[in-house]
A = this chain, B = another copy of it.
Amino acid sequence: MRWNGWGDPSRAKGLPLAVRTLLPLLLGRIRRPEPPVALDAVQLAPSALTADDLAAFRAAVGPQHVDDSAESRIRHAGGRSTPDLLRRRQVEQAAPDAVVRPSTHDEVRACLDVAVDRGIALIPFGGGTSVVGALDPERGGHRAVVSLDLRRLDGLLSLDEISGEAVLAAGTSGPEAEALLAAHGLELGHFPQSFRYATIGGFAAARSSGQNSAGNGRFDAMVTGIRVATPTGDIELGRAPGSAAGPDLVRIFLGSEGIFGVITEVRVRVHPIPRGRVFESWTFPDFAAGVEGLRRVAQHGGGPTVIRLSDEAETAVSLAQIGRIGKALAKGASVVTVYEGERIAERRARVSAHLASAGGSSAGEGAAEDWLEGRFDGPYLRDSLLDAGVFCETLETATTWSNLHALRSAVADALTRGFAEAGAKSYVMCHVSHGYPTGASLYFTVLAGIRSDPLTVWGLVKAGANDAILAAGGTISHHHAVGRDHAPWLAEEIGDTGVRILAAIKRELDPAGILNPGAVIPLERTR
């Protein structure tokens, strides 16, 4: 992973000509920023760990797996939100005091013991793709903070082909998990945009949703069991697919983002690798008609593997990216559908009937195929935009179908207004990436021509958007999770009693408060 941007530098791509042409029209004159700082020019405070601290961690994981080099510390200094990337462009940066890499559950347990004994905060770190500040090097009042890099906990630990269940070590990345399963003809089928880097444990800890979740379910729904090392004891959960044995405690760790314990193993549902894949894109006269189409599919059970709807603004820019901006398509909203696995023709016929009944027209395979091919590449585009001085970030929420349009307007207005107040022109795009029987997600991408101090401007704009989400009845996150960025709004969403529940679990499992301080619940509520 590029240290100050996304992914594999060799895959990075410049801005397509059509986009470069479009940007000044949308955002006005854009000021090219200073070039980013070089890795060896970054200034870090010296590590706060003592020689004894380092020795204790070395005893836990082996001497070669404790690393306090500047490069490692910088590479674990945060996630991949736009603010993270902007911070990586600064000379002075905050970073954890060291990176520790356990390779087994027992080594994780040993690291927790060292951290508790010595009063050192630990930030569990998987693929490093958080976009909500879950990896900020926050000490939470402790004297030092260590990034607990879990990538060495990898592999397929067991496989039950009859039941269709696999146990994966938590640090296994998306592609590694699929390769291990593919050797048995099986697939997990979870493809968030972070797929190439994010880990199985991260998917669980952050309640990930993937691009194929229409067909395969959210990651929540794939998890059948979990093993967690907490500072005060281990726990293994998930005995049976259907249980009424008290509250489902697996759900306490899904979404816990490392504040209760470190997820070391995840048992997941797997299925045979689907044979065949069919694409179809659709156009709708407008976003509202597209929403109606997606609702019919979600409520009447069509069975697409992927279904997503881009609004007019996103449709236009997507087409610009692939050089088709002039096409008639650009006048409305667009839907991508993909079908994989069994009974494709039957499912496609059913979905098509629902989409047509809502005013959609089939637009062939091309746009859907293009989407699939580029589906993990969005973050590369963001790097190019940032290099060009264009601010670009995403945020997301979800609500019921009946509230979807009101929520979309409220958020779009808050974004546009927020940027305008900072004197920046902006362009707001929206898509629906996930539909459920009772509602759907809304995913916003914003471009803005921020003239100076984008971190401060975005902080204000994003706060306004979060306020608008809660005021309009949305959830503060559909799949990006909470981290530190959303913690104050989570507290509002679940109310005082909800925060007290989370804080009580936190105090019970992590009384010293060493685990990911300030993530999920505001720091002051966990004391």
Chain A interfacial positions (CB closer than 8 Å to B): 160, 162-165, 206-209, 218, 220, 224, 230, 232-237, 239-249, 251-257, 269, 271, 295, 299-301, 342-343, 346, 350, 397-403, 434, 436-441, 473-482, 486, 490, 493-498, 500-505, 507-509, 520-521
Contact = CB atoms under 8 A, between A and B. Distances in A.
Given A269-B438, A271-B299, A502-B246, A240 B497 contact: no
B242 A437 contact: no
16 contacts: A163-B401, A206-B244, A240-B441, A240-B475, A241-B438, A242-B398, A242-B441, A244-B478, A245-B493, A246-B481, A249-B494, A249-B498, A252-B252, A252-B501, A343-B350, A503-B508
A253 B508 CA distance: 19
A269 B299 CA distance: 10
Q: How many copies does the complex hold?
A: 2
A489 to B, nearest CB: 8
Contact of A245 (B235, B490, B505): B490
B478 A242 contact: yes
A254 B235 CA distance: 20
B437 A241 contact: yes
A165 B251 contact: no
A244 B498 contact: no
A439 B163 contact: yes
A493 B239 contact: yes
A239 B508 contact: no
Contacts of A479: 242, 244
B160 A402 contact: yes
Nearest to A350: B343
Contacts of A482: 244-246
A254 B248 contact: yes
A503 to B, nearest CB: 8
Contacts of A481: 244-246
A163 B342 contact: no
A436 B242 contact: yes
Given A269-B438, A508-B501, A255 B244 contact: yes
A247 to B, nearest CB: 4
B255 A497 contact: no
A199 to B, nearest CB: 16
B237 A245 contact: no
Contacts of A402: 160, 162-163
A91 B299 CA distance: 54
Contacts of A477: 243-245
